[in-house]
Structure 1
Amino acid sequence: MKQINPMNRIIIISILFLGVFKPAINAQTSEIKYKDVFKVVSLGNEAKSYEILLQYQKQDPFHANTYYHLGKITKKWAKNYDPLTDYENLAYFTYHAKLYCNLALKYLNEKNAKKDRYYYPDLKPLEGVKRVTHQQIYQELIESKQEVEDFEKTINNIRVNYYGAVRNYNKSLTGFKAIADKNSKLKDIYLTADEKLISEIKNIAISYDSTLYFFDIYKKAIADYPIMKYNQTYTLIPIETYRLEGLTKSNFLNNKISLWNYRQWSDTVLAVINNDIKELRIDIELEGKKIDSLTNILNLDLYTGNYDYYNLDEKLAYRIGRFDFQPLILDLFNYKASKLNLVIDSKKPINNPANINDSTMVFRNKLAFYKTLIEKKQQSDANLITLKNNITPFNILKYEDYLSTNINGKRGLSDCVDHEPENIKKILDASMQNLKKIIATEELSDILNRKKIAQKDGDIPLSILFSELSGEGYDSYYTSSKILDNNGDKYITGYYVQSDKNTQAFVAKCDSLLNLAWIQKIDYSPNKKNLINNFGTFINLTEKGCITTIHTRDTTGGKLLIQNWLVRLDADGKTVSKDSIGPNLVPRIMVFDDINQKVISVYKGAELNKFTSNMDTLIVEYADSSGQSIWQTPLVINGDIVNVLRSNDKVILAANYTELFYNGELKKPQNSKAGAMLAIFNNEGSIINIKTYSESYPFYMTHAVKLDSETINLVGVKTDSKDLFDVINNSKIQVYYNLIDTKGEINYKY
């Protein structure tokens, strides 16, 4: 039910009273006699008394006793109102109580005091005096007036301090809510705290302190002058969960009040800002300078292996993470560190153009280095994308000082993410030019190698003929294949062209100083009348020596007769075994698996030139160590073999091709004259898949190298010319580079 305001209640009662009482009086006389008024007052009904006194006051505005009783009633009524919730009525009756006291004093005199002495029933004659005197009435009015004024002063003091507490607490609450509305996480406050925000946090604490100051004065005031049933006490509640606590109002009218401890919250936040965050910003500045300084040093033309990869300070990253869930500054530092590590790799001696001809490092290890370099570049690209995606005005604001000082703020950061992709690409491009030279040099090193093994009927060259099994002179040795063992000794196979006889194959061994240990010439001619040509083609190491493929061909009968042999020799050059192997085609590659005692060979065509432009049958064979075929799988291809690889339970053939006939379909490169291909075989010799690779530009694959159990590196040059001499110093020719998995899927393409 709706409550009726006390003042309204008085007015309602007055109206009802006038509706009953006034007609009754008017029915008797046109004027009210004061003795009748006093009878009503004597009955003690304050509402009726108040109304009839007001009516009489209009009839006789100079009657002091009327004002005396009006003052008593209004003073009592004023004290009955709640000074905190109904101050309007309290102030109204307090004002009128003072007014009536003053009017009573104004119109009080000896005459009316004597005349109306019976109308002051609450005053008793002084001792020794028969009647209430004028002076006694006057003194009563003075004291009553003072009481009202003291009451008014006390109430105002109570209200000033009470509402001072309420007002300041609400200022703290409003300030706290405003900060919470702008900052969804407490961590955001720490990192975005500028002078304005710090001032706002301080003002929350100041207002909170004022709350307690005013409230304590208020408590003392109501202790001295109790009002109603108020006896408030407060409990301070810590703000422990940001945005869940500290947002609700407190009712100061309750005797038990819960106050959010904004001072404690402000002090805690400011302590973090002034200590942790200040120190953190100093360390961020130092970390950034370390990265930039080292990058500047390495950007000089200096190749060195003295620098380890740069790792961000983990403790610093953790400290930043305490205050920022997705810190833009860490994204920036992660990018800078990844770029620095790319630069560190690019400046290693292996990438020095001056070291391209270094033969002390295995070619596979060189390729592995460039794979690592590419991974560093990819990491830089990924980190740059992460940085770009995290750039927002709010995230920039958190690190505005550092960004403004070091990279020209928001504009510099935008320039960074726009231009850095090209900068890191340039680092990789320069390195890949070096790789191109390494690839060409690796191929040419066997051709350009002028070292020879001296022996009595002719020196054995270490240079390898690039394209075919045929010599240009007579009584000369030609090397087809060589391999280095763990002791630094070389095993070599090739052929010896005689001026008046057939060609003989040979296998030889020398030490690291090229001193010949032994040589064994091989001639599988049936007899001296039926001479055939013999070629040592490929050589591999075994546990106790070497194994080689000998290719023989007989043209004496007008018909080409081809046969291949698998020959095993011990470390002293003695033949351990000789077995027929493979189809009647030219062996293009042979790989020996010493652990499993298996031979993987690839045969193609009848011509000795490996760059034949004919569509020839190609056969991949998997055989045991005695040459017994386990499986043979044919393909028809126009191209040259690059390598054959073993990957777990698969055999992978890599080749260049211009035409490929498979599964009843003729395949050609889509956009270029020549393409690359992989044929993947299972353990039974079935082709699992054939993957072809073509580009919009001409290219030639020179190597297919297994870098690890999951990665194969296809490398070469982006030109259709096989003249690698031109490739080395032609900066317009780029490297062809693919990283693929063992299923033939491209993981990376340069």
Structure 2
Amino acid sequence: MKNSIQYIITLLLLLCNVFVFAQNKEKEEEDIATTLERKKYEDIDYKKYYPELKPQYDTEISDAQLQELKKIIKYQPLEVNPLFQVSEYYYQRINSFDVLRQYQAIQSTCDSATRYIELFEKNLTEKEIKKKWKRYYLEFLQFPANQGKGLEKVTQIEIQSELARRKEVLAKQKSEVDSIYINFKECINEYLIANEQFREVCGKYPTIKDFYILAEYDNVFEEIQPIKDHYLKALEAFQRYKQALEIHPIEGYTTEIIEVGIDNYRIHGLTTTSFLNEDIRMWNYAKWFDDVSQFYQAEILPMRSLVTAYDHYLNDVINQKEKSNVPSEDRFYLDVRKIGKIKKYDPNAFPVNIYEYKEQKINLLNQITYSEVLNSGRKGDLKYIRSQADIWTECRKAIHRLRKIPTDQNSMGYKKHATFFAQEYQDDLSNYVNNEKSSIKLTQQKSEDLLKTIIENYFSSTLSDSAQFVAYQKDSISLESIQETNDFIVRRMKTIHTRPNKDDHTLVIGTIKDKKSLAVFVADIDTLNEVNWLSKYEFDKKEYQDAPNIDIPNINVKGGVVHLMLSAEGIKVGDNEISLDNKVVIFDAKTGNQLNEIPVSSQRYPRVFEYLQETKSYLIAYKGKTKNSIQEYDTLNIQNIKIDGEQLWSSNYLMKGMITEILPLQNQFLLVANINKLSDINETNVLLANNMEFGKFNTAILKIDSFGQAKDGTVLKSEQPYESIFALSDYDNTLNLIGVKGDYSRDKNYTNKDLMLVSMRINNLKVEEKNIQ
């Protein structure tokens, strides 16, 4: 270990000796070079060198001569004149530089000239002048300070006069060049600051719309005021620069500023410019500031006022609707022009989401008012039922609209209208949305409960004891059997349908079976429950081997006429099989007189019966050989028959399921059925439910043209089976389906079943709202 340390020490000493030797060698070499240089310049005879240096008084000293002079000064310090000649070299060049590009060189040159003049003054003596004025200083008589004086001899006075003049020229040169350069530089710096700040604005706001719409939240105009200020300072500095050029003209400096407009945000105004070209193109940030400020005042502030004012207007409409008991016939829509003005600057404006909800709420309130007008106790009326379905639909739409209202206060969209939300909603949109949602859901639930009650009370097989029938326009409502007894005979009368008649009378339609007659009756009951008239249509018992089963599948009361679809099911005399005999019988609703009887050529049971008043014809759908033949996948026949019995068209389909309704619409019909399968007669076009087991239905909608041809169709598929009981429309392109969830059951007991609701567009068969998956 000891030997290792000693070895390291020896090595370090050796390295130090090598370094010292190299240093001494380098110094020795430098000393040799200096010696040679000194010998050269000590041997120069300056009085012989001077004529070469200055053959004329205004001869320009070269760069090489400058270096020679500085060496002479160094090695011949007693020679005074070289000091002046060096100052002359620098003085001759003070106007040789570009003021803007070589400002530092000018300053340095003036300083060097001044320094050597002062050195010359310090070393100049009377003895030097007297001894050498003819040889070295005669040129002073040609300099501006002494020109025109007619002097023949140079004294210290002439030399000092010229030197003083030169120092004054140098000081003025520095001052004037400073003014030119500093003002020009200030112009550049101020402009570049404005440019940089403008670029920051463009980086922060991707579009001019974002700039305008966030101006309020970000206090943008306070932030960008310095852009204008710096730009104006740049122009002021340039004017001072031009004024300095007038005092100290420089050849070739005719630069002017060309102000360029910023017409396209984030395209113009971003680039810098070249300040050393003949003309300087500068983006006019001051005018841009004035333009955007003026535009903001003229367009954005009125838009913000519109946002608040339109919200107040919608609130007023809502308040009016809540207090009104007269519904509007037309649907309420937002003013697209006002919305357009808002979205012009904020395409995704959060306030518009609130407006859209309030638009929906107004229509919901109007629908509630309309339903209350219809609700005169007739809860079975189709229009009232549909009004409740529409309330449910409007509630669902309102909830969807509420969900689209963003409530995040940190989001950019919220910040764009932060003042509006703070003033109108106390910066708590979440609370507003939650309160509105709770209210809407309560209304929706009431509508669902009422529809469920209507289905349970009026359309189940077992009627509620509290049910009071109020007729509606299309579907039938079965009531309990009643018996009428008088002094002469006991008649078995079964009431199947009732309908409202004029003057608050009620039509009662049913069947009569006794020993003497087999008939269908129609009776008009007045407000005192007295029979106003009673008419009967008798079936001929003799045509049948045994009394047939009489049914009234459907009725229509329109235009003061009662249209009855009658069906007799039994074995006729001479036959071995049960047959169906269908016919339409027409009565006058005012007098009860029978007007017509139309045989119908079909051996299938009529499931749908609709009187088309405009064409004076019937639309009838048949399926199944008997009333109870419902499970088979067999023919669905649809006929359009004139009131005189002439058939207009007949179409056949194949179906496994139950037909609900055929709605007559403009230039087409809409078939609604609960199906497992529905196809054309050739099975080339097929609609299928999710399940093929009978009773596990999905609803199919089929569009049929005015000639009976299917044109379009769809199935509202769901893994959960459901049954449409109502299919309602009012020529408004909306179809309401009302029913129950679960398998179909013959007993039609809907008490324990959940309500099914669907609202859809007819033109494109697109579902708008639904409560099934």
Structure 1 residues 79 and 523: alpha-carbon distance in aligned structure 2, compared to 1, 3 A threshold: same
Q: Which moved more, 1:195-204 or 1:733-742?
A: 733-742
Aligned residue among 271, 274, 277 for 1:251: 274
Residue correspondence of structure 1 range 115-514 to structure 2 within 5 A: 115-118=131-134, 119-124=136-141, 130-193=152-215, 197-273=220-296, 277-278=300-301, 280-281=303-304, 283-285=306-308, 287-288=310-311, 317-324=339-346, 326-341=347-362, 343-345=364-366, 347-348=368-369, 350=371, 358-359=377-378, 362-364=381-383, 366-367=385-386, 370-371=389-390, 374=393, 377-378=396-397, 381=400, 384-385=403-404, 393-403=411-421, 427-440=443-456, 443=459, 466=478, 474-475=490-491, 477-481=493-497, 493-498=509-514, 500-508=515-523
Write out aligned runs for 1:569-580 (5 A). Answer: 569=587, 572-580=591-599
Q: Structure 1-normalised TM-score?
A: 0.77
The total of aligned residue pairs comes to: 704
Where does residue 34 of structure 1 map in the other structure?
A: 47
Give me the whole-angstrom Cα distance separating, in 1, the residues matched to 2:730 and 2:218. Answer: 57
Q: CA deviation at 1:192?
A: 2.3
Q: Secondary structure at the match of 2:272?
A: coil
What is the identity, as a one-letter code, of the residue corresponding to 2:353? Answer: L
- For residue 116 of structure 1, give the secondary structure of its aligned residue in structure 2: helix
How many angstroms apart in 2 are the aligned matches of 1:723 and 1:523? 30
Determine which of 85, 101, 114 is the counterpart of 2:130: 114
Correspondence 1:583-732 to 2 at 5 A = 583-584=602-603, 586-603=605-622, 620-622=637-639, 623-627=641-645, 642-646=660-664, 654-655=672-673, 669=691, 673-675=695-697, 678=700, 680=702, 695=718, 697=720, 699-708=722-731, 711-718=734-741, 727=751
Correspondence for 1:565: 583
Residues 98 and 736 from structure 1, CA distance in 2 versus in 1: closer, same or farther, beyond 3 angstroms? closer
Q: With structure 2 as the length reference, what TM-score do the two structures score?
A: 0.75
Shift of the alpha carbon at 1:106?
0.9
Q: 1:737 to 1:277 in 2, by over 3 A?
A: closer
| One-letter code aligned to 1:466 | S
Cα shift readout 1:504-558 (whole Å, capped 9, x = no counterpart): 2224456788776643322232669999566655443576744433434567979
Tell which deviates more after alignment, 701-710 or 681-690.
681-690
**1:695 & 1:553 partners in 2: Cα distance?**
37
Alignment partners' CA distance in 1, 2:334 and 2:759? 31
SS of residue matched to 1:475: strand
1: distance between equivalents of 2:301 and 2:44? 86
275-284 or 201-210, which deviates more: 275-284
**Distance of aligned partners of 1:512 and 1:705 in 2 relative to their CA distance in 1, 3 Å threshold:** farther
Amino acid at match of 2:601: G
The DSSP-based 3-state class of the residue aligned with 1:78 is coil
Q: 1:82: which partner in 2?
A: 98
Contact 2:662 2:671 in 1 (8 A): yes
The CA deviation at 1:357 is: 6.1
State whether residues 506 and 536 of structure 1, in contact with CA within 8 Å, keep that contact through their aligned partners in structure 2.
Answer: no
Counterpart residue type for residue 585 of structure 2: V
Q: 1:649 and 1:313 mapped to 2: Cα distance? A: 32
The letter for the 1-side match of 2:192 is: N
Which amino acid in the other structure matches residue 286 of structure 2?
Answer: R
- What residue is the counterpart of 2:11 in the other structure? none
Distance apart, 1:102 and its partner CA:
0.6
Output the amino acid matched with 2:349.
Answer: L
Distance in 2 (CA, whole Å) between partners of 1:309 and 1:668 is 37
Tell me the CA shift for residue 225 of structure 1: 0.9
Give the match's secondary structure for 1:506: strand
Paired position in structure 2 for 1:519? 534
Q: Distance between the aligned counterparts of 2:653 and 2:207, measured in 1?
A: 66
Would the aligned equivalents of 1:237 and 1:261 in 2 still touch at CA under 8 Å? yes
Structure-2 change in CA distance of 1:76 and 1:682 (3 Å): closer
Aligned equivalents of 1:422, 1:671: Cα separation in 2: 40
* Alignment partner, residue 565 of structure 2: 549
Give 1:163 deviation, angstroms.
Answer: 0.7
Q: 1:693 to 1:446 in 2, by over 3 A?
A: farther
Q: Is the 8 A contact 2:408 2:414 kept in 1?
A: no
Contact 1:208–1:263 (CA under 8 A) maintained in structure 2: yes
Q: Identity across aligned pairs (percent)?
A: 19
Q: Secondary structure at the match of 1:46?
A: coil
Deviations 1:155-205 (A, max 9, x none): 112211111111111111111122122222122222223567444411111
The CA deviation at 1:493 is 3.8
Unaligned regions of 5+ residues in structure 1, if any?
1-22, 453-462
- Say which is worse superposed, 260-269 or 29-38, in terms of deviation: 29-38
Structure 1 CA distance, aligned partners of 2:546 and 2:660? Answer: 32
In the alignment, the residues of structure 1 paired with residue 524 and residue 634 of structure 2 have an alpha-carbon distance, to the nearest angstrom, of 34
Aligned Cα RMSD in Å? 5.0
Using the alignment, how far apart are the partners of 2:230 and 2:395 within structure 1?
55
CA contact (8 A) 1:168 1:208 kept: yes
**Further displaced range: 259-268 or 271-280:** 271-280
1:688–1:406 CA distance, 2 compared to 1 (3 A): closer
Partner residue in 1 for 2:72: 56
- Check 1:671–1:29 CA distance in 2 against 1; reply closer, same or farther (3 A cut): same
Q: Secondary structure at the match of 2:98?
A: coil
